[in-house]
Chains A and B, each alone.
Chain A
Amino acid sequence: MPGFAKRIVGAVVVVLAIIVVNAMLSAEGLFGFGVPRYWAHVLMLAGINVILAVSLNLINGFTGQFSIGHAGFMAIGAYASAYLTVYHGQAWERSLSGAVGETLAGVVVFLLAILVGAVVAGLAGLVVGVPSLRLRGDYLAIVTLGFAEIIRIVILNMEVVGGATGFTVPGETNFLWVGAFAVITILVVHNIVRSDTGRALISIREDELAAEAMGINSTRYKVLSFVVGSMFAGIAGALFGHYTRFLSTADFTFIRSFEIIIMIVLGGMGSITGSVLGAVVITVLPELLRLLPSVGGFNFADLRLVIYSALLILIMLTRPQGVLGEREFGFNWLRRAQKRPEGDEAVGAGAGVPIAGRPAPTGGGESGEDAVKGVENR
């Protein structure tokens, strides 16, 4: 089965790539060849942003529900998992390390913490989604925005997770975790989108009434996409918290929500590769701006938000559907050019049924010729 073999090869390549990148990011580097500390940091953040953008795209891009509270679910995942590692992590690791060894125990406990963060964020998504997904457009946006702020304020007042002083978290995240979860997020969203569930989600985006008429329970599927999206936001939050080693509610304001939205709008709503592109660009862009020299006390890095806005306006004017629109960038894109001609094999199947109202290719050519003649006659 060549498809199967191809997938195995792909998986091996991806795993190797993550391991190599992780080695290069670590302090020792790979055979002395490492990425500078600073850019390693940027790459980690880019990976976490990929998870956030791709998961938000499932809600906003594919299902067509405008959520602007993704940072709220990220916060829930971050704090829930951090609570676990801070208060129970060491005890659990100790009791586990006897059985499976110290390294593996650490891995298991952190994985558990991430999954708990995902589940708690998913439950929060369910609680918010069930009542609010009956609302449309602007109203849903306001509810999600409000919810994210409520979460933030609640956490700010919870002494058990540090409250306003912040929460110190053990550092567990390395690129193995971030890379693996970024790939898992992309795979899961990709597989959902290309399935019966995905078609249901997209049909709700395209025409909710028609989708219902085809037997699709639109509320159920909207909630489903919301919960799945929130779960991955929770995972991103868990990775983020255990990477920065310090959680503060200031990390999860609506500005972060908007940043994620900018990523998917920029890359293309309804395109997974677009979200990845958007996430990477939006993470790297401010760092590149920092590299620019300041001109007369005028610093480009300080203009980050101004440049975001200008970028967004530019995209909206020239390419409102985002850089990739709804298309995916991939090998098929490169292959399509050669594939086109044989696409006509399907014609035989429908042969014998004359289709009126559809100009045959030759007809189009003729009218084209007529137009040319008309010009000549003049």
Chain B
Amino acid sequence: MSESKLPSSGPLEKEGVVAELARTARTQEVADESGHVLRTNKATIRFGGLVAVNELDMSVRPGEIYGLIGPNGAGKTTIFNLLTGVYKPTSGDIHFRGRRVDGLRPYEIARRGVSRTFQNIRLFPGMTVLENVLTACHLHSRQNLFDAVLRTPRYARDEREHREFCMELLDIFGLARFRDEGGTSLPYGNQRRLEIVRALATRPRLLLLDEPAAGMNPSEQDGLLNLIRQIRDRFDLTILLVEHNMKVVMGVCERIQVVDYGKSIALGLPHEIRNDPKVIEAYLGD
């Protein structure tokens, strides 16, 4: 139950990290002229004869928790991979904060403020909990190779600042005590949390969560819902969530888009989606 709950007091005072993350995220400033953070325009990707994503239009507003749902194999993760640059759309385009990002490499998109977690957790196996998070500070690192080789004061300062930042962040998520343990040796729920911490350490403006509830039991899922809401509120982020678990999606998302066979079949508020005949058909079959 308490598996994924942010402590409501105490670490809340850790204004340092929260303030810094929020400063980079600042939801009002991230919107483009149409008032969206992320927009896709007829994004399509074909793998041979298979159209995995078909003319998908989506638009995410700043500060919202946006759900992307659909039955297994609907193309949700493929959409994520399009948004994060793992795949390049066959046609159509993707805009993040008013600038085209389709065709950019994943690290370039990450640099613009999109961070993600993975459906099947991808922590760095050979690293400790702290190192996993430190690695994600790369984008904000001010040391270069020569600072590192010569151990300059700039290197020392940079390392110390990142270490403090990461420890505060880990502390907020209740993972500080595991800092020297192997990331992948943590229990499953904590690995998921650590992956979220790692994604946050890049100081993103948009956080993409790929099936965060996968493999969780109902009470863990409740904890996760709280966690996602609190991350958005405290870090001032926009969150895009891919999920096929209806309960999670209905519980936390403010707007939901449903995809099936790579096509968008519905878009609306949770209660609208719940009663949409097309959605029911997609999930239950005819």
Residues of A in contact with B (beta carbons under 8 Å apart) = 188, 191-192, 194-200, 202-203, 205-207, 209-218, 224, 270, 326, 343-344, 346-347, 349-350, 352-358
Identify which of B63-71, B171-179, B275-283 touches chain A: B171-179
Pair B135/A350 contact, Cβ less than 8 Å? no
In the complex, what distance in Å separates the CA atom of A203 from the CA atom of B134? 11
| CB contact list, B173-219 vs A, under 8 A | 173-180, 186-190, 198, 202
Pair A215/B149 contact, Cβ less than 8 Å? no
Pair B107/A212 contact, Cβ less than 8 Å? yes
- Tell yes or no: B246 within 8 A of A by CB: no
In the complex, what distance in Å separates the CA atom of A200 from the CA atom of B158? 15
Pair B110/A215 contact, Cβ less than 8 Å? yes
Given contacts A188-B149, A192-B149, A358-B187, contact A215 B139 (CB under 8 A): yes
- Distance in angstroms from A307 CB to nearest chain B CB is 31
- Tell yes or no: B92 within 8 A of A by CB: no
Pair B125/A206 contact, Cβ less than 8 Å? yes
Residues of B in contact with A (beta carbons under 8 Å apart) = 1-3, 5, 7, 9-11, 84-86, 105-107, 110-111, 115-116, 118, 122-127, 131, 134-139, 141, 143-145, 147-151, 155, 158-159, 162, 167, 170-171, 173-180, 186-190, 198, 202, 220
Residues of B within 8 A of A198 (CB): 148
Residue of A nearest to B134 (CB): A199
Pair A199/B174 contact, Cβ less than 8 Å? no
Which of A211, A216, A343, A357 has a CB less than 8 Å from the CB of B189?
Answer: A357
Pair A206/B124 contact, Cβ less than 8 Å? yes
In the complex, what distance in Å separates the CA atom of A214 from the CA atom of B186? 20
In the complex, what distance in Å separates the CA atom of A188 from the CA atom of B150? 8
Residues of A within 8 A of B138 (CB): 196, 199-200, 214-216
Pair B126/A205 contact, Cβ less than 8 Å? yes
Residues of B within 8 A of A209 (CB): 86, 106, 122
In the complex, what distance in Å separates the CA atom of A353 from the CA atom of B145? 38
Pair A195/B125 contact, Cβ less than 8 Å? no
Residue of A nearest to B208 (CB): A213
Interface centre among B1, B115, B174 (most CB of A within 10 A): B174
Pair B3/A202 contact, Cβ less than 8 Å? no
Pair B110/A213 contact, Cβ less than 8 Å? yes
Pair A200/B135 contact, Cβ less than 8 Å? yes
Given contacts A196-B137, A197-B148, contact A213 B116 (CB under 8 A): yes
Pair B158/A196 contact, Cβ less than 8 Å? yes
- Distance in angstroms from A181 CB to nearest chain B CB is 14
Residues of A within 8 A of B124 (CB): 202-203, 206-207, 210-211
Pair B187/A357 contact, Cβ less than 8 Å? yes
Residues of A within 8 A of B202 (CB): 214-215
Given contacts A196-B158, A358-B190, contact A202 B127 (CB under 8 A): yes
- Distance in angstroms from B112 CB to nearest chain A CB is 9
Residues of B within 8 A of A358 (CB): 186-187, 190
Residues of A within 8 A of B139 (CB): 214-215
Residues of B within 8 A of A353 (CB): 2, 5, 7, 173-174
- Distance in angstroms from A102 CB to nearest chain B CB is 32
In the complex, what distance in Å separates the CA atom of A270 from the CA atom of B162? 24
Residues of A within 8 A of B115 (CB): 213-214
Residue of B nearest to A189 (CB): B149
Q: Which 4 A-B pairs have the closest CB atoms?
A: A353-B174, A195-B148, A215-B110, A212-B106
Which of A206, A217, A349 has a CB less than 8 Å from the CB of B105?
Answer: A217
Residue of A nearest to B122 (CB): A210
Ordered by A's residue number, 6 sampled pairs between the chains whose C-beta atoms are within 8 Å are A200-B138, A202-B124, A211-B135, A214-B107, A350-B175, A357-B190
Residue of B nearest to A356 (CB): B3
Further 8 A-B residue pairs, CB within 8 A, beyond A213-B118, A357-B3, A357-B188: A196-B162, A199-B134, A200-B135, A200-B138, A202-B127, A202-B135, A209-B106, A346-B176
Interface centre among B86, B126, B137 (most CB of A within 10 A): B126
